[in-house]
Amino acid sequence: MTNEKKNLDVVGHRKIFYCISCTLIALFIVLTFVLGLNVDIMFKGGTIMTYTYTGELNTDEVKDVVSEVLDQTSTVTKGENAASKQTTVKIQLSSTGGINEVKQNELQEALEEKFADNELALFESSDVNASNGMDFFFKCLVAVIFAAIVTIIYIGFRFKKIGGISAGIFSVVALLHDLCMVYGCFVICRFDINANFMAVLLTILGYSINATIIIYDRIRENQNLKGSKIELEDLVNLSVTQTLGRSIHTTVTTVMAMSVVCIVCTIFGVKSIISFAFPLIIGMLAGVYSSNCIAPTLWVMWRRHAEKNPKKSKGKTAKQSGRR
């Protein structure tokens, strides 16, 4: 009796979890239309111009010059050339046909005049084809779909005693939930949708599924131990309670490491790494939440539904659930 009282009632609060998740996803959709997406040049196409300079350079002033000359917004970042060790400033301009030579010369003259003391000089200029970015995007999308299919098949075979295919499907639903949270982070934080975005998604795919598999494994073990002595809801609550500490400890360790990365990058102004590390933290936290509160509770609902509609499911569903 004492152990049962300490068990978390995850299944009993499932509607609260679903409402929270649905509300956040709806919010992200609304913000996408209200705020828009910052899509990287690799997906839109355009021109990248890199200049070398000396001394200190204000990127906001560079943006103002670009806006005055070309009448369009730009993305300006500082960097360093690995070979020559020269400091550089990179200007990214989105366009379908690129920036012609005349416009580039006008911009260069305006920049050289504005930053005469910085010895600013053109290092390189290149046009970016949007099709290259889209090819990369579709390859990553294929990888996500393939990973989802493999996950369903793997869980289907490994946990067939607890209705493996359904468990696999709901684990993928939890993964999609985590990917939505990562997407929302990019929208709210105004990070560019670029290679970092795809890298975070693929990383979360592997990280989150591990926590879900641990819970399913504990459900299977407890079902073998308890048999028909425990209700399905209590079985899941017990299993989640037993594995939650491990999931939290594992995630906190990783999140702390990534938090240090974010802090260091913020101090030194390395925005490109922050746009990977911070969304990854959000994805990891979402993974703990979905693995414990979304996937197993959806699985319970499906098993209950299958019992009420035995003709639409296999007759052995009730026997596999480990209840009376």
Residue type, 45: G
Domain count along the chain: 2
- Domain around 88: 46-128
Let me know whether 120 and 142 are in one domain: no
Residues 86 and 224 in one domain: no
Please tell me the distance from the alpha carbon of residue 108 to that of residue 69, in angstroms, as a whole number. Answer: 10
90 and 29, same structural domain? no
Mean pLDDT of the region 19-29: 95
| Claim to verify: residue 86 and residue 195 sit in the same structural domain | no
Q: Say whether both 142 and 230 belong to one domain.
A: yes
Cβ–Cβ under 8 Å, residues 228 and 319: no
Express as a percent the part of the chain with pLDDT over 70. 91
Is residue 235 domain-shared with residue 96, that is, in the same domain? no
Give one DSSP letter per residue of 157-194, joined into a string.
HHTGGG-HHHHHHHHHHHHHHHHHHHHHHHHHHT-EES
The CATH number assigned to the domain holding 25 equals: 1.20.1640.10
The model's pLDDT over 166-197, given as tens digits with 9 standing for 90+, comes to 888 898 999 999 999 999 999 999 888 888 88
What is the DSSP code (8-state) at residue 8? Answer: -
124/136 same-domain check? no
The CATH number assigned to the domain holding 80 equals 3.30.70.3220
Q: Which of 71, 53, 52, 70 is nearest to 106 (CA)?
A: 70
Residue 3 clears pLDDT 50, i.e. is over it: no
Is residue 18 over pLDDT 60?
Answer: yes
Q: Is residue 179 domain-shared with residue 308, that is, in the same domain?
A: yes
Both 101 and 202 in one domain: the answer is: no
Contact 271, 49 (CB under 8 A): no
Q: Domain check: are 170 and 66 in the same one?
A: no
Query: pLDDT digit string (tens) for 114-129?
Result: 888 888 888 888 877 7
pLDDT at 298: 92
Put the strands of the sheet holding 46-53 in their side by side order. Answer: 75-80, 87-94, 46-53, 121-128
The structure's pTM equals: 0.80
